[in-house]
Amino acid sequence: MSAVLSIIIVSWNVRDLLQRAITSVYASWGRQSGLEVIVVDNASHDDSVVMLRADFPKVIVIANSENRGFTGGNNQGLATATGDFLLLLNPDTEIVDDALPRMVEYLQSHPDVGMVGPQLLNPDGSVQSSRRHFPTLPVLFFESTWLEKLTPRKLLRYYYAQEQPDNATQDVDWITGAAMLTRRETFAQVGGMDEGFFMYSEELDWCRRIREAGWRVVYFPEARIVHHEGKSSEQVVAARHIYFQSSKVRYMRKYHGATFAECLRLWLLGQYLWQIGIEGAKWLIGHRRPLRTARIVAYQQVLKSKLQMANGKWRMSESANDESQGTDY
CA distances (Å), origin 14, targets 2, 18, 59, 90, 224: 29, 6, 16, 10, 22
Q: Count of domains in the chain?
A: 2
- 179 and 282 assigned to the same domain: no
> Is the model's pLDDT at 180 over the cut of 70?
yes
CB 113 within 8 A of CB 215: yes
**Residues 319, 192: one domain?**
no
Domain identity same for 293 and 173: no
Same domain, 90 and 208: yes
In a domain, 233, yes or no: no
154 belongs to a structural domain: no
Final residue before a domain boundary, out of 227, 248, 276: 227
Distance CA 42, CA 67 (A): 4
107-131 confidence digits (pLDDT tens): 999 999 999 999 999 999 999 999 9
Q: Note whether 183 and 245 are same-domain residues.
A: no
Residue 309 is predicted with a pLDDT of 66
pTM recorded for the entire structure: 0.89
Q: What are the two backbone dihedrals, phi and then psi, of residue 166, each rounded to the nearest 5 degrees?
A: -65, -25
Looking at the fold, whether 285 and 263 belong to one and the same domain comes out as yes
Any bridge partners for residue 168, and if so which? none
Q: Is there a domain that residue 120 lies in?
A: yes
Please, what is the Cα angle at 78 between 224 and 245, to 5 degrees?
Answer: 75
110 and 255 both lie in a single domain: no
Same domain, 201 and 302: no
> What sign does the dihedral 193-198-203-204 (CA atoms) show?
negative
pLDDT at 150 (0 to 100)? 84
Summarize pLDDT for 65-113 with one digit per residue, the tens. Answer: 998 989 999 999 999 999 999 999 999 999 999 999 999 999 999 999 9
Among residues 183, 204, 227, the one where a domain terminates is 227
Q: Is the pLDDT of residue 315 over 80?
A: no
Question: What's the Rg (C-alpha) of the chain?
Answer: 20
Are residues 277 and 165 part of one domain?
no
> pLDDT band at 317, cuts 50/70/90?
very low
Domain contains 173:
yes
pLDDT score at 310? 56
Q: pLDDT-derived band of residue 170, with 50, 70 and 90 as boundaries?
A: very high
Residue 99 · residue 32 · CB < 8 Å: no
pLDDT value for 92: 95
pLDDT for position 198: 82
Q: What is the DSSP string of 122-137?
A: -TTSPEEP-EEPPPPH
Same-domain pairing of 309 and 179? no
For residues 107 and 187, the answer to whether their CB atoms sit within 8 Å is: no
- pLDDT value at position 10? 96
Q: Would you call 156 exposed, middle or buried from its count of C-beta atoms within 10 A (0-12, 13-18, 19+)?
A: middle
Q: Which of 207, 227, 247 is the last residue of a domain?
A: 227
pLDDT at res. 278: 95
Residues with Cβ within 8 Å of residue 165, at least 6 apart in sequence: none
Q: Is the pLDDT of residue 235 over 60?
A: no
Whether residues 251 and 176 share a domain: the answer is no
232 assigned to some structural domain:
no
The answer on pLDDT for 319 being more than 50 is no
Q: What is the pLDDT of residue 280?
A: 97
Quick check: is 88 in a domain?
Answer: yes
Least confident of 72-76, 148-152, 230-234: 230-234
Name residues whose C-beta falls within 8 Å of residue 73's C-beta, 6 or more positions apart in sequence: 10, 40, 42, 62, 64, 329
Domain that holds residue 207: 5-135+161-227
Task: Please state which of the ranges 89-98, 147-156, 169-178, 184-193 shows the lowest mean pLDDT.
Answer: 147-156
The rounded distance, in Å, linking the Cα atoms of 152 and 282 is 29
| Of 203, 185, 190, 86, nearest in space to 134 by CA | 203
The 10 Å Cβ neighbour count of residue 172 is: 20
Domain membership flag for residue 153 = no
Q: What's the CA gap between 22 and 55, in Å, rounded? A: 10
Pairing verdict, β 309-310 and 113-121? unpaired
Q: Could you tell me if residue 141 is inside a domain?
A: no
pLDDT of 266 above 90:
yes
pLDDT, the chain, mean: 91
Whether pLDDT at 47 is above 60 = yes
Tell me: do 106 and 202 sit in the same domain: yes
Predicted pLDDT at 237: 75
DSSP element (H, E) containing 284:
helix 258-284
Confidence of residue 313 (pLDDT cuts 50, 70, 90): low
Asked if residues 216 and 113 have their Cβ atoms less than 8 Å apart, the reply is yes
